Amino acid sequence: MNASVWFNADSATVMSAALAVFARRGLYMVRSFDLRSAQAAHAACACPHHGTAQCTCQFVVLLIYGDAAQPVVLTVHCREAQTQANIVRDVTTFPDPRLSEQVMAALVEAALDITAPPLVAAAATPDAH
């Protein structure tokens, strides 16, 4: 299973859409780390991706809880309005497969919500005879 989803949107848009979908699916999210919050105390944090004096990237670590005993750890990295969400899998972290599938399905739904064109209701007009 591919444990990564790319979004053509900034991190705030992705986080908002993901939170809404997680809530609809009975999952809840805890923000464990937020790069912008960590940088708030530092005036000049050079960006390793852009070489700029002030980093405009965003990196967030989320804990996603469902019915499993342990949460799924999700990282969200945004750079230049491109956001990537990854389920963390390493030697110390192997997430519950069912919860991982639920998180991935929710992320795909969030991506579709972001890219879907807005629905426009046609105004009802009386027939002119």
For 23, the domain range is 4-115
Instruction: Report the domain count for the chain.
Output: 1
Kindly state whether residue 127 falls inside one of the protein's structural domains: no
Kindly state whether residue 126 falls inside one of the protein's structural domains: no
What is the domain-level CATH number for residue 47? Answer: 3.30.310
Kindly state whether residue 128 falls inside one of the protein's structural domains: no
Per-residue pLDDT tens over the stretch 18-64: 999 999 999 988 887 566 565 556 666 655 555 555 666 778 888 89
Say whether pTM exceeds 0.85. no
Kindly state whether residue 35 falls inside one of the protein's structural domains: yes
Kindly state whether residue 121 falls inside one of the protein's structural domains: no
The closest of 76, 69, 114, 115 to 95, measured between CA atoms, is: 69
Say which amino acid occupies 71. Answer: P
Three-state secondary structure readout of 26-95: CCEEEEEEEHHHHHCCCCCCCCCCCCCCCCCCEEEEEEEECCCCCCEEEEEEEECCEEEEEECCCCCCCC
Kindly state whether residue 27 falls inside one of the protein's structural domains: yes
Kindly state whether residue 47 falls inside one of the protein's structural domains: yes
Cα angle value 16/13/104 (rounded, 5°) = 65
Kindly state whether residue 123 falls inside one of the protein's structural domains: no
**Per-residue CA distances from 11 to 8, 14, 42, 118 (Å):** 10, 5, 21, 20
Q: What is the pLDDT of residue 30?
A: 87
Q: Which residues contact 75 (CB under 8 A, 6 or more apart)?
A: 59, 60, 61, 62, 85, 86, 88
